[in-house]
Structure 1
């Protein structure tokens, strides 16, 4: 039994959380999956997984094996990909992790164009907003919004954002326009509730080179950006969010910008990948594709 295959099956079991679910994903029988893991344990002469009829958990040796197996399989995948790419067309599996707003509004609508260009690439996309360990989770390209940790990753800027105040056009007709950040106190406003701190985020402004913040009273506070935008479109009040989230509603006239002379710079959007993957053709073509999306 090939040890690389044993490691692949072992990692699939860890990812799936159960032998039966791993078997389904791998199109194998549960007994075959069990035999692969048992053979790996026999080879290393250690138990990797504690298992009962109801649950399973990794031993300390199992955690070490899983972490190193992921790196080994990633290196093998990179080697296979680079050798294929040397022949011309990028091929193989490309794993990408995207923030929800970037996936929904920008990447997903354009994916058909990418897959038609590179039919030999198999794209696996996960959507989330947490910073992850790319090596441990086997991700090739990561897109994130905001300040970046000192991770040693290559960062390619895709877009700058701005903080935009906006409201439904009907709301303006009925209530008039705010003239300054302080005048927002006289209008119905929606506050964004930070999901982690449960605190309302102050609104950011900039004018004549001076940055400031203001927190208008909010009778409605929401910790979900898309829900806040929908409420604003329905006339619930004025909101401030990043331009990247507001772009479709502004483009379709569902929301109108206000206090445009006071817009502050927002966080930048970056594509991240490991330095060792700089020459990987499949990483390069996808990052170039992201740049293309954000410059259209």
Structure 2
């Protein structure tokens, strides 16, 4: 038994939450995974996992083994990177998850350049806005708006955002513009619905250091940002969304910013990855690529 390989298999089982999922991630059979874990338990003479046909849990000894093995494997990975840095190019499957707005409008248009620079990397990208467990789902790099409170993850800020009110030029020409947030009830407002809580998101404002929020009377509510923006561009009314979602539309003149003296800061855009992947070459170069994209577009959105 190669103990390092067995420890890697064991850690993957814990991360994946099961033998079959671990086998899928490692590209080996479930039998091989079971054999490796059993050999490790025999070597240490302790039970690392409680398992039945339907569930699996980690023993106290297994948890201790996992925490130490993660550090050991990370140190081994760092040693390999140091010794082979000059000859080893980033390679392998890179699993990425990000909101649809980033995937479709920001990353995908420039992704071919990254793939040309790193031909040995294959990118598998999911573009959605749902909550994910990147450890559970085997995701290498995650891009999200706001903070994800997970001590297992390293977070780096890519950009800052603002809450922007805007509407189509034709709508403004026909109905005029609000001069303060209190005026919004006299206009057609298009609201965003939080997908999980099904509550309408308040609109946020800041002026002279004072912050406020309100939920204006809405003629349309949706939990899909692109649908909200599309309705506004068609002249349906006023929206408030994050600046990163409408930056290009405002620049093109498709939307006109409103209440600019009342603009409030929004949540940061962050890239997240697991602590033990900090030194992985494929993760490192992709994170650097994301930073470059956002620097080129401007740090603040």
TM norm structure 1: 0.74
1:37 aligned residue: 37
Shift of 1:240: 0.5
1:185 aligned residue: 185
2:299 aligned residue: none
Preserved CA contact (<8 Å) 1:70 1:138: no
1:176 aligned residue: 176
CA distance in 2, matches of 1:107, 1:295: 13
User: CA 1:28–1:149 in 2, change beyond 3 Å: closer, same or farther?
Assistant: closer
Preserved CA contact (<8 Å) 2:12 2:22: yes
Unaligned segments of structure 1, at least 5 residues: none
Q: Secondary structure at the match of 2:80?
A: helix
Shift of 1:242: 0.8
User: CA 1:275–1:31 in 2, change beyond 3 Å: closer, same or farther?
Assistant: closer
Q: Secondary structure at the match of 2:160?
A: strand
Tell me which moved more, 189-198 or 147-156.
147-156
CA distance in 2, matches of 1:29, 1:215: 54
Preserved CA contact (<8 Å) 1:84 1:90: no
CA distance in 1, matches of 2:19, 2:222: 40
- The reply to whether residue 257 of structure 1 matches residue 257 of structure 2 is yes
Aligned residues: 293
Shift of 1:289: 2.3
1:289 aligned residue: 289
Preserved CA contact (<8 Å) 1:96 1:140: yes
User: CA 1:76–1:95 in 2, change beyond 3 Å: closer, same or farther?
Assistant: farther
User: CA 1:182–1:66 in 2, change beyond 3 Å: closer, same or farther?
Assistant: same
Shift of 1:238: 1.6
Preserved CA contact (<8 Å) 1:94 1:140: no
CA distance in 2, matches of 1:111, 1:98: 14
Shift of 1:132: 7.4
CA distance in 2, matches of 1:20, 1:276: 22
TM norm structure 2: 0.73
CA distance in 2, matches of 1:51, 1:89: 39
Query: What are the within-5 Å matches in structure 2 for residues 1-296 of structure 1?
Result: 1-53=1-53, 55-60=54-59, 61-85=61-85, 87=86, 90-92=89-91, 99-100=98-99, 101-121=101-121, 143-146=143-146, 157-195=157-195, 198-207=198-207, 210-251=210-251, 253-271=253-271, 285-296=285-296
Shift of 1:241: 0.9
CA deviation map 1:7-45 (0-9, x unaligned)? 222334444554344434433333323222221222222
User: CA 1:143–1:24 in 2, change beyond 3 Å: closer, same or farther?
Assistant: closer
CA distance in 2, matches of 1:274, 1:11: 13
Q: Secondary structure at the match of 2:292?
A: helix
Shift of 1:293: 0.6
CA distance in 1, matches of 2:6, 2:274: 26
Q: Secondary structure at the match of 1:179?
A: coil
Preserved CA contact (<8 Å) 2:163 2:265: yes
User: CA 1:104–1:14 in 2, change beyond 3 Å: closer, same or farther?
Assistant: farther
Q: CA RMSD in A?
A: 4.1
